[in-house]
Amino acid sequence: MVTTPLNVLVTDRILSRFEAELTRGDDTARWTIAAHRSPERILAELPHTDVLVCSAMTPEMAAAGRNLRLVQVTGAGFDKIPLADLAPGVAVANTFHHGRPIAEHVIMVSLMLNRHVLAADAQMRAGRWLTVATDPDVAFHGVLAGRSVGVLGLGGIGQEVARLAGALGMTVQAIRRNPHGAVPADLDLAWVGGLAELPRLMSTSDIVVVTIPLSDDTRGVVDAAALAEMRPTAILVNVARGAVVDEDALFAALSAGSIAGAGIDVWWGAPTGADAPPAARRFAALDNVVLTPHHSGHARTTFELRAADIAANVRNLAEAKPLINQVRAPLA
């Protein structure tokens, strides 16, 4: 047990809104919420900081944080942490809790597209009442029960998608890096394959859900050839990273109607302030796409649970206990 409280610097803007959850009942640390401070002021604080709570840091921050003991990432991804620039004694940990909210988003978008909600909403806003009872040209909507969902990536998010889809009576099939790896006992999967079986997944799924991490192997893996395997009644939902899917190929497939629709929560290119990236404006011209600003995991519970993880890790560090979700141990 340390006698001097740890100095904790929080630069993440979202987690800063959960200061009460971070600091509740904690006498092991002095918390400084610095999300809106200038980069220069943050650099000045870092030499006196034991724990940095952040979503990203620069090499300059790593150099300034020569006395850091822990970099606590506020989400799952730590690709924006310059690991090679950190001092040897710095541990790095991350946190999750976004799987269930993202899975619920997948189901919501799938229902919206299958039930033609976008068209019905637009018609109602225009003062039109079009149903199968009033217009024989109105299509019947579908249900998810009895349909097949193909999950590309069976990590935490993919597993939550599989659970919810199975609970709705859907047949679940999946692709993962290691098709022979253990599968949680509560998942009922029709089959699990490797990336080589992507054509099979695409051609036999009514809904394809992309949850696989972006890497050199997965960049653009959902390309024109993969999309051409899909049924014309099928939809694609991407909650992974934009670059896993070929942007031009998806736009062409949706424009031509060779697939029925898409739910896009992740994008190609970064937004500029409050302005959506150009890709979002491009897809907004289509009426068979649900567009969201990478917010599928942004449930309040996600950040409450992340704040609890972060607070626990600060206590663990102070008390010399093992860290939760450590992804880099201090080097000897």
Tell me the per-residue pLDDT of 173-188, one tens digit each, with 9 for 90 and over: 999 999 999 999 999 9
Phi, psi (deg, nearest 5) at residue 46: -60, -35
How far is it, in rounded angstroms, from Cα 27 to Cα 11?
20
Q: Reply yes or no on whether the pLDDT at 27 is more than 90.
A: no
Segment 130-137 shows an average pLDDT of 96
How far is it, in rounded angstroms, from Cα 74 to Cα 71?
9
Paired tokens of 134: 């009033």
The predicted pLDDT at position 123 comes to 97
Is residue 219 assigned to a domain? Answer: yes
Tell me, yes or no, whether 128 and 247 share the same domain.
yes
List the beta strands (DSSP E) in the chain. Answer: 6-10, 29-33, 51-54, 70-73, 91-93, 148-152, 171-175, 191-193, 207-210, 235-238, 261-264, 289-291, 326-328
Tell me, yes or no, whether 190 and 172 share the same domain.
yes
Q: What is the CATH number of the domain that holds 61?
A: 3.40.50.720
Is residue 213 assigned to a domain? Answer: yes
The predicted pLDDT at position 272 comes to 84
The predicted pLDDT at position 200 comes to 98
Could you tell me which of 233, 227, 263 has the C-alpha nearest to residue 248?
227
Tell me, yes or no, whether 28 and 166 share the same domain.
no
Is residue 308 assigned to a domain? Answer: yes
Q: How many other C-beta atoms lie within 10 A of the C-beta of residue 225?
A: 12
Provide the percentage of residues in the chain whose pLDDT is more than 70.
99
Is residue 232 assigned to a domain? Answer: yes
Segment 53-81 shows an average pLDDT of 97
The residue written with tokens 């049924």 in the block is 231
How far is it, in rounded angstroms, from Cα 186 to Cα 205?
21
CA-to-CA dists, residue 45 to 12, 93, 107, 109, angstroms:
15, 21, 44, 43
Dihedral angle sign, alpha carbons of residues 224, 225, 226, 231: positive
Phi, psi (deg, nearest 5) at residue 13: -70, -35
Tell me, yes or no, whether 48 and 105 share the same domain.
no
Tell me, yes or no, whether 65 and 24 share the same domain.
yes
Paired tokens of 202: 């695409």
pLDDT in tens, 257-280: 999 999 999 999 988 889 999 999
Distance of CA 289 to the CA centre of its chain: 19
Tell me, yes or no, whether 307 and 237 share the same domain.
no
Is residue 1 assigned to a domain? Answer: no
Is residue 276 assigned to a domain? Answer: yes
Could you tell me which of 3, 11, 15 has the C-alpha nearest to residue 308?
15
Tell me, yes or no, whether 144 and 53 share the same domain.
no
Tell me, yes or no, whether 111 and 172 share the same domain.
yes
The residue segments making up the domain with residue 31 are 6-96+300-328
Tell me, yes or no, whether 246 and 212 share the same domain.
yes
Tell me, yes or no, whether 231 and 320 share the same domain.
no
Phi, psi (deg, nearest 5) at residue 331: -85, 140
Q: Reply yes or no on whether the pLDDT at 328 is more than 70.
A: yes
Is residue 46 assigned to a domain? Answer: yes
Q: Reply yes or no on whether the pLDDT at 146 is more than 80.
A: yes
Tell me, yes or no, whether 86 and 112 share the same domain.
no
Specify the amino acid at residue 62.
Answer: A
The residue written with tokens 């997965």 in the block is 218
The predicted pLDDT at position 332 comes to 66
How many domains does the structure of the chain reveal?
A: 2
Q: Reply yes or no on whether the pLDDT at 327 is more than 70.
A: yes
Tell me, yes or no, whether 17 and 61 share the same domain.
yes
Q: Reply yes or no on whether the pLDDT at 331 is more than 90.
A: no
Q: Reply yes or no on whether the pLDDT at 3 is more than 90.
A: no
Band (203; pLDDT cuts 50, 70, 90): very high
Is residue 272 assigned to a domain? Answer: yes
Q: What DSSP letter does each residue of 179-228 carry, written as one string?
A: TTS---TT---SEEE-GGGHHHHHHH-SEEEE-PPP-TTTTT-B-HHHHH
Specify the amino acid at residue 143.
Answer: V
